[in-house]
């Protein structure tokens, strides 16, 4: 029965991830949109750290940590984000409900494990309207770049593990700009559609050792720069509106534009932490990224090297307690600071957040809930500041596979 539920969820979420509008950020106008977090709710609730490994939880960020798994694991998660958009003169509100990931990982021996899954890589979703007495403009954008990945980890010895994964990124974005004037009968709409696909790679290394009674862990992740192909189409249309506000398209002209390449930045992550197994853990990590090349410098965007710093951990009062359920709960917290690498009007767009979470044990599974409170952007230079609060919910299931039967 559980396997049927898992397969049904996989089908529904795989359909939903192609259609969802996964962000309400005006900054998703640039590049491939808002890059999504590529880990589970457990890691996200600890500032987004990847250095934490667990024998029951899937680590989607560092494939080397797959070797920590003792049981086959399934994980699925989604989020609700409410955002307050603020400028020097006005404020608006927006909200989104999104699918975050669907993944499975399984050990095939005492030294090797595999994983596969589906998640959004980035999302485009914005609507900006500016109306005066004489003219009006409207900018709309929707779409997602999705990521299907397969990974493997291998334990070299009791201290070192290595891993790698390959992902296929695919999706479609639509961006349109509408311009109207009161003294002109027709408005003009330009629509740009990009169909994007390509491969990306990632490697990982994990070192684990005992220092007295404490567990010490260091993790490294390297993702080389990769190239995505973008098949581009553009059309120009004449637009009018009825008295009820319905849009009428009078004429559409296709414009030939060349296909292009998008160069994703390379990334290097280093993190370390220590703690007591199934009791507590605390760690920190840093991520450095090169400059990306998204081919949209015409939009006034510039790019610089990006950085991200994370700090977090968890605490479990008593994981095997029989007398108190709350002693078995995992309590998680973290902090995150990120320079996204996007520069607008000489202002670096930064993102900072506080994260909290709980791991609620259920029979044979865990219900994970998380909260993220953060701020992205700035009101300087006429830009937009986003104050957001997100809530995440996910389930992780565990079972034992690939065990040789003792009796037929």
Are β-strands 214-223 and 160-181 bridged in parallel, bridged antiparallel, or unpaired?
unpaired
Q: How far is CA 84 from CA 241, 386, 388, in A?
A: 30, 6, 6
**Residue 382 CB neighbour total at 10 angstroms:** 12
User: What is d(CA 59, CA 274) in angstroms, rounded to the nearest whole number?
Assistant: 17
- b/e per residue 132-166 (b: at least 16 CB within 10 A): eeeeeebebbbbbbbbbbebbbbbeeeeebbbbbe
pLDDT at 3: 39
User: What is d(CA 102, CA 193) in angstroms, rounded to the nearest whole number?
Assistant: 27
User: What is d(CA 335, CA 286) in angstroms, rounded to the nearest whole number?
Assistant: 12
Q: Which three-class secondary structure string do you get for 252-308? A: EEEECCCCEEEEECCEEEEEEEEEECCCEEEEEEEEEECCCECCCHHHCEEECCEEE
pLDDT at 400: 64
Nearest 5 degrees, angle CA 278-CA 281-CA 282? 175
Mean pLDDT by 10 residues, the chain (408 residues): 36 42 86 92 94 81 92 92 90 91 92 95 89 85 95 95 97 92 86 95 95 93 95 91 78 87 95 92 96 74 94 93 91 97 93 96 89 95 94 86 51
Helix, coil or strand: residue 50: coil
pLDDT at 9: 37
pLDDT at 75: 93
pLDDT at 23: 86
User: What is d(CA 137, CA 176) in angstroms, rounded to the nearest whole number?
Assistant: 11
Query: What domains sit in the chain, N to C, each tagged with a CATH number?
Result: 2-399 (2.40.160.60)
User: What is d(CA 325, CA 94) in angstroms, rounded to the nearest whole number?
Assistant: 37
Adjacent-strand bridge partners of 344: 301, 347
């Amino acid at each position: 029965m559980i396997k049927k539920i898992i397969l049904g969820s996989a089908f529904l979420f795989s359909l939903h991830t192609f259609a969802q509008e996964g962000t309400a950020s005006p900054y998703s106008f640039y590049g491939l949109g808002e890059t999504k977090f590529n880990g589970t709710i457990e890691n996200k609730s600890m500032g987004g750290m990847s250095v934490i490994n667990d024998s029951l939880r899937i680590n989607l960020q560092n494939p080397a940590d797959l070797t920590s798994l003792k049981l086959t694991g399934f994980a699925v998660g989604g989020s609700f984000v409410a955002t307050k958009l603020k400028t020097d003169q006005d404020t608006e509100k927006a909200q989104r409900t999104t699918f975050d990931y669907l993944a499975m990982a399984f050990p095939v021996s005492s030294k090797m494990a595999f994983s596969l899954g589906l998640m959004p890589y980035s999302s485009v979703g914005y609507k900006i309207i500016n109306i005066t007495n004489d003219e009006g403009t409207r900018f709309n954008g929707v779409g997602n770049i999705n990521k299907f990945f397969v990974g493997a980890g291998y334990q070299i010895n009791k201290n070192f593990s290595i891993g790698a994964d390959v992902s296929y990124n695919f999706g479609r974005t639509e961006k349109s700009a509408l311009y109207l004037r009161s003294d002109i009968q027709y408005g003009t709409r330009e629509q740009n559609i990009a169909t994007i696909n390509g491969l990306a790679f990632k490697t990982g290394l994990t070192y684990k050792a005992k220092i007295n009674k404490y567990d010490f862990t260091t993790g490294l992740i390297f993702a080389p720069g990769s190239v995505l192909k973008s098949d581009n189409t553009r059309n120009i249309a004449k637009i009018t509106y009825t008295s009820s506000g319905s849009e009428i398209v009078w004429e559409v002209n296709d414009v030939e534009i060349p296909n292009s390449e998008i160069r994703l930045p390379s990334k290097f992550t280093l993190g370390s932490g220590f703690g007591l197994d199934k009791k507590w853990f605390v760690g920190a990590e840093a991520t450095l990224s090169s400059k990306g090349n998204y081919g949209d410098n015409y939009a006034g965007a510039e790019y610089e090297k990006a950085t991200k710093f994370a700090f977090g951990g968890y605490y479990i009062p008593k994981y095997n307690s029989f007398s108190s359920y709350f002693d078995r709960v995992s309590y998680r917290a973290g902090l995150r600071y990120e320079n996204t690498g996007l520069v607008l009007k000489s202002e670096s767009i930064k993102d900072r957040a506080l994260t909290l979470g709980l791991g609620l044990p259920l029979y044979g599974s865990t219900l994970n809930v998380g909260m993220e409170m953060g701020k992205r952007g700035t009101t300087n230079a006429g830009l937009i500041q986003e104050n957001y609060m997100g809530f995440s919910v996910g389930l992780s299931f565990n079972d034992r596979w690939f065990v040789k039967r003792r009796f037929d």
